[in-house]
A = this chain, B = another copy of it.
Amino acid sequence: MRNRLPVGKTGDVNTATVETPSTQDLIRRAAMTLFASRGYEATTLQAVAEVVGISKQAILHHFRSKEELHDAVLRQLIDHWNRTLPHLLVTASATRNRFDAVFSELVAFFQADPDRARLVLRELMDRPDVTRKLLSDVIGPWLSSIATYVRIGQERGVHRADVDPEAYLLQVLQLAIIGVATADVMSAIVGEGPEGRERSARELARIAHASLFSPRPVA
């Protein structure tokens, strides 16, 4: 029942040619950051409002409720995933080592905005039931398609025969997510700052690779 006024331009002031993010966008971004770092319950609409620089009630003008704002943030994440996926696969198939390309793109997707990884992790923990279905829908197709690729590699002897493709890919996905989400905390143990993160990232890639590919016969 709320008006869906185009937020930027009601007519007058907006002569700016630069694409200014809409208020909705600003709210979504702020909410994403807060949901990711504090969790849904601990995030108050007031806190979101203060980041954006508007009132709490202004947020409730754009989003009917806190829950609706949460849904919008999630949908944005899913949409971005679905838009990125095809590109990810195309890039990968054009590469000699297809798997390493897919894996690095996967990690890059989350590293480009660590809030994505944190948000997914929070969803997994806070709303397991809802997230179960959601995950099946979103990553199910992706999983099947890459699993097929893994199986082909197994038939050719490139991939280890004892790999469980779907289970393997899920574990790798989980590693990428938690690796990004807790990078600052965990990697600090193996080394402060960027150095620790670098070591963690490299080892992550090594584990994913070594546990998939058959040992090369000594040339």
Mark A189-219 against chain B: 1 for CB-CB distance below 8 A, else 0.
Answer: 1100000000110111011101100010000
Out of B125, B140, B162, name the residue touching A118 (CB < 8 Å): B125
- The answer on a CB contact under 8 Å between A207 and B168 is yes
Once the chains are docked, how many angstroms separate the CA of A189 from the CA of B41? 27
- Kindly state whether residue A87 has any CB partner on chain B within 8 Å: no
Once the chains are docked, how many angstroms separate the CA of A209 from the CA of B113? 31
- Kindly state whether residue A108 has any CB partner on chain B within 8 Å: no
- The answer on a CB contact under 8 Å between B135 and A199 is no
- Kindly state whether residue A139 has any CB partner on chain B within 8 Å: yes
Q: List 26 A-B contacts (CB under 8 A).
A: A39-B41, A39-B42, A40-B42, A41-B41, A121-B121, A121-B125, A124-B185, A125-B182, A132-B184, A132-B188, A143-B189, A164-B190, A164-B202, A167-B190, A167-B200, A167-B203, A168-B207, A170-B187, A170-B189, A170-B190, A170-B200, A171-B203, A177-B178, A207-B207, A208-B211, A210-B210
